[in-house]
Amino acid sequence: MTSDAPRVLIDGLQYCNWSRAIFEEMRQGGLTAVHATVGYHEGFRETVRHLVDWRTRFRDNEDLILLARDSGDIARARATNRTAIFLGLQNPMPMEDDIGLIEMLFDLGIRFMQLTYNNQSLLGCGWMEKEDSGVTRMGRAAIAEMNRLGMIIDLSHAGERTALETIALSQRPVVISHANPRWLRDSNRNVSKAVLKALSVKEGLLGLSLYPLHLPNGSDTTLNQFGNMAKEAAEIMGAGHLGIGSDLCQDQPDGVVRWMREGRWTRDIQAAASFPAQPSWFGSNLDFPGLSEGLLSAGFGKGETALVLGGAWHRFLEDSLPPVG
């Protein structure tokens, strides 16, 4: 990236009810790239069905979005006034119990995969389990395979031990695409200082979440409070290791929350399932540029603000994703 390049805006995680209207808002908001969740608890075949649906979206909205496979597609999107969409998985379920399916998913366009969601997986432990047993034997093999391919490891829903072990084991930097400092919101879904320090030492990246349940004051969190939260994370990691992973779920019906939490692994209803109200200052991609106000108010310089809003993600993707020949 050159210093005189136009501003890059990147959102490191969204799971919207995708539509042309949302893609239009991405363009109006100036989003350069977005990491979009493809699935949660689906197996391989169901995930392929979702990828077929994505190919239809790319074809029907080719004037607005394009499938991104490497960082060169970010430049291609900017040159054609479109948004680059990177596809990812919030659960390793689509690889089932077959290490070979990681490469198949990569070939189909998947560029991010979480090692766990909320529960124990075949690879590691999610944050909601009582005991975190860390990275499993298969998890070690999956980490090595993802490193080989250049698929980005995401630890957003991992338990503490699993996260720390993965950061240490991975030969490539990893991300926590959507989470916040735990000490500002008392939830193990957010991340500790120890994890943030380990992440930055290994050149990883944290995407700050704008999902209300991750924010310091929930839906009532102010834009200034968001900026102050980002500042506390930057004091540990540096702005060069911070981005945004909004976890925006725009236009999703409340029933989707139950699928996220319960999938098919239980018959029990876990809790009342509905999306919390978004903070007033972030309800769609149209609001993304306005995040700069919160960052500047917290004392970030213009250069640091540019890093958090997309520059750090851009550099990470340039360094992490192998070029597609």
Give the pLDDT confidence of 9-61 residue by residue, as tens digits: 999 999 999 999 999 999 999 999 999 999 999 999 999 999 999 999 999 99
* Average pLDDT value for the chain: 94
Q: How confident is the model at residue 133 (pLDDT cuts 50, 70, 90)?
A: very high
Asked whether the predicted pLDDT for residue 190 surpasses 50, the reply is yes
Q: How confident is the model at residue 4 (pLDDT cuts 50, 70, 90)?
A: very low
Q: Residue 230: name the closest of 157, 313, 317, 292 by CA.
A: 292
pLDDT at 255: 84
Average pLDDT value for residue range 299-319: 97
Contact 35, 112 (CB under 8 A): yes
Average pLDDT value for residue range 96-116: 98
Q: Give 264-276 pLDDT, tens digit per residue.
A: 888 887 666 789 9
Asked whether the predicted pLDDT for residue 214 surpasses 60, the reply is yes
pLDDT at 302: 96
pLDDT at 272: 61
pLDDT at 1: 36
Average pLDDT value for residue range 232-241: 97
CATH of 10-320, one of 3.60.21.70, 3.40.640.10, 3.40.30.10, 3.20.20.140: 3.20.20.140
pLDDT at 263: 84
Measured in whole angstroms, the distance separating CA 126 from the mean position of its chain's CA atoms is: 16
Q: Give 162-189 pLDDT, tens digit per residue.
A: 999 999 999 999 999 999 999 998 788 9
